Amino acid sequence: MFVLEDDQELSQINAKKMAALKKRVQIATAAADLAKSQPVEKTSREVLSEFLYDRGDEVLETAYGYYPSQTEIVVDQLAGYLRKNPKTEKIRGGELYSIFRRVGMRFPLKTTIKIQERGKFIDLKDKFKLSKQDVEEGES
């Protein structure tokens, strides 16, 4: 008889656990359905980032580094325009930099000049170092 009571208690405990798990699953699926039904609006920065190319993201990050609050205002204005005119052409990094300069936001960008030699791109300063070493070796 003792074994029979343990089985009944065990089955009751399992039934309670199963009911709790079912309830948790229902709550989770309801929350997931609610999240799917609500459209997620992109931030102004995300909207603008989709239109950037050719170092545009680098220019934007640098602008946020030097002028965070002013950059946010410019980004909001640009994103508003892009939302209204989704067929607008992509924005190059140089064009974005020019926009920031026109509104008085001046900041330095790291620039490098690379040349192609033997199928590889080499920094111009490295090329000068190599050329200088070649000249010095030729003199010796």
In a domain, 73, yes or no: yes
In a domain, 31, yes or no: no
Question: Based on the number of CB atoms within 10 Å of its own CB, is 84 exposed (0-12), middle (13-18) or buried (19 or more)?
Answer: exposed
> Residue 65's domain spans which residues?
42-132
In a domain, 28, yes or no: no
How many structural domains is the chain composed of?
1
DSSP per-residue letters across 2-31: HHHHHHHHHHHHHHHHHHHHHHHHHHHHHH
Structure tokens at 50: 């989709």
pLDDT per position as a tens digit, 96-122? 999 999 999 999 988 888 888 888 888
73, 114 Cβ separation under 8 angstroms? no
Q: Is the pTM of this model over 0.85?
A: no
116, 124 Cβ separation under 8 angstroms? no
CATH number at residue 105: 1.10.8
In a domain, 4, yes or no: no
